[in-house]
Amino acid sequence: MDSQFFLLIALVLFSGLFLAAVFIRPEPGRSGYLWFRIGLFLAVIILSLGIGLCSFESGHLPLTNLYESLLIFAWFLSLTPLAFKKLPVSLVRFALLLAVAALLSASLLPQRFTVPAPLLPALKSHWLAFHVLTCFSAYSAFAVAFGSALLYLVPSFRGSLSLETLETITTTAISLGFPLLTIGIVTGAVWANQAWGTYWSWDPKETWSLITWLIYAAFLHARFARGFRGRRSALLAVFGFISVVFTYLGVNLILSGLHSYAS
């Protein structure tokens, strides 16, 4: 059995868990909650095995191209409902939906993305894992903030969640993701100096990472120093995640630069 087998099983399991989250509302104390948690834990294990085999087949950590990064993003997203037991069901659904979308996108990529290939010289660095993993853990936190901000802005999907609860989730998720993104940018700068002889070259990826960082820095400053609240705060969180998506996908697929290998 190769990595593709386990990744396909993981896609099926996460799709089923998403449907279960839609129809049975797995919340503490409700029927089916324990089985949902067990299924989620099993799905994460299967996905981890698939990623581990992908690493074994390529001979390096699976962090170097679009296919591998989608798997890592799905992995972090799938951990979110396990790490935060009190996460509202609506956000559990959202995290699982994004995880399914990431796995499905990875499975539909052309074969040239999925065939193991030797590392490019610039990627042969111990900074690779630090940089990529901190960035994608930040992205998963920002995804949760994006989901809660959307619920704040769209009452029809909000259910019984209060606006105060959603604001708290948005702020907490961004407060968690921001230092992780900061570490990711700093380790990326150190890695860039090692690989290309400069800490910062205004490459499109670097520029958009800085834009994303500034948006979330502005959110936290406005929230804690200025008491920024309400729809304006939620809109800024949404705008921040749009910047995240462009930093992750748009730069690699549309623009050219030192990071274009990731496309």
pLDDT in tens, 34-63: 899 999 999 999 999 999 998 888 887 888
List Cβ neighbours of 167 (8 Å cut-off, separation of 6 or more). 152, 229, 233, 234
Pick the CATH number of 1-119 from 1.20.120, 1.10.10, 2.40.50, 3.40.50: 1.20.120
Q: Is the pLDDT of residue 256 over 70?
A: no
Q: What is the pLDDT of residue 259?
A: 53
| Averaged pLDDT of the chain | 88
| Dihedral class, residue 230 (left if φ above 0, else alpha if ψ from -120 to 50, else beta) | left
Q: Where are the beta strands (DSSP E) in 110-172?
A: none
Smallest Cα–Cα separation from 18: which of 85, 94, 71, 70?
94
Contact yes or no for 216/177 (Cβ under 8 A): yes
Residue 73 to residues 31, 132, 148, 222, 249: CA-CA distances in angstroms?
30, 10, 19, 28, 12
Query: What would the mean pLDDT of 138-163 be, rounded to a whole number?
Result: 91
Question: If we measure between CA atoms, which residue out of 133, 127, 238 comes closest to residue 193?
Answer: 127
Residue 168 tokens read as 């708290």
| CA distances from residue 157 to 160, 168, 207 in whole angstroms, order as listed | 9, 17, 34
* CA gap 194, 22 in Å, rounded: 47
Q: What is the pLDDT of residue 186?
A: 94
Does 34 or 216 have the greater pLDDT score? 216
Task: State the Cα–Cα distance between residues 221 and 198, nearest whole angstrom.
Answer: 30
Note the pTM of the prediction, 2 decimals.
0.91
DSSP codes joined into one string, 200-218: ----HHHHHHHHHHHHHHH
**C-alpha of 34 from chain center:** 25
Tokens coding 175: 């407060």
